[in-house]
Amino acid sequence: MKKSLLFALAAVAMLSACNNADEAKKSGEATSATEVTTVECVASGDVVYMDLDFMLASSKLYAAEGKALEAKMQEFQTRAVAAQEGWTKSEQSLAAEYNKLQNDAVKLQQDYEKGLITTLNAQQKGEELAKKEQSIQTRMNTLQSTVQKEGEQLAKDEQALAEEQLVIMNRFQELTRKALEEINADKRYKMILNATSVIDADPTLDISSLVLKKVDELYEAGALNE
């Protein structure tokens, strides 16, 4: 339900023209052909709607704060994926090394039982395998500790980003509330719906651009700091 910039600009101008035209019509005022300006009324019904997704993405609030957060979230996603891939690669490498060690131990036992190596040689190789096993276990423990530590940090970072996102949404909702209070101060609209709840409607009942203009004005005026 997103509208073009031309529609957005035209919607604001048309609203006041509609009110004046309606008043003139009701009072029966005569107007010459040269004085008549024909406009199509925007949001002329009691029930109108607005596209909040479009408004947020197009707002100056989003341009100033939302895009920066979006970049941070993308960076976080890249970092989280890289960390997960790194953990998996390390786990697989250690698992392969451990499996090889187990196979070497089995072969050593078989060679000894077949009398292919001396007892002294078997003991020496057995000690070497035991040291390798201890080394692998130590690295496994270190990896587990790293995964836990880095995982906890990623969780904290994700929570912080989610909180920032919520704050931006709350700020946008507050601006929208203030904008609607001003725009609908005369109660011309009996009901204002979110476009996500609208299946089909006359495009002239879409007041998204009108409200967005006021939202941007309030944002630039520092309404959120009042």
Give residue 190's identity as a one-letter amino acid code. K
Tell me which of 1-10, 51-60, 161-170, 202-211 is least confident: 1-10
Q: Above pLDDT 70, what percent of the chain?
A: 80
User: 177: closest CA among 206, 209, 211?
Assistant: 211
Q: Residue ranges of the domains in the chain?
A: 5-225
Buried b (16+ CB within 10 A) or exposed e, 81-101: eebeeebeebeeebeeebeeb
Instruction: With a cut of 60, say whether residue 140 has pLDDT above it.
Output: yes
Non-local CB neighbours of 98 within 8 Å, separated by 6+ positions: 133, 136
Helices 208-220 and 5-27: crossing angle in degrees, nearest 10, is 110
Phi-psi region of 37 (alpha: psi -120 to 50; beta: other; left: phi over 0): beta
* pLDDT tens digits, one per residue of 71-122: 999 999 999 999 999 999 999 999 999 999 999 999 999 999 999 999 999 9
Q: What is the rounded CA–CA span in Å between residue 23 and residue 175?
A: 31
pLDDT value for 8: 33
Cut 0.75: pTM above it? no
Non-local CB neighbours of 197 within 8 Å, separated by 6+ positions: 49
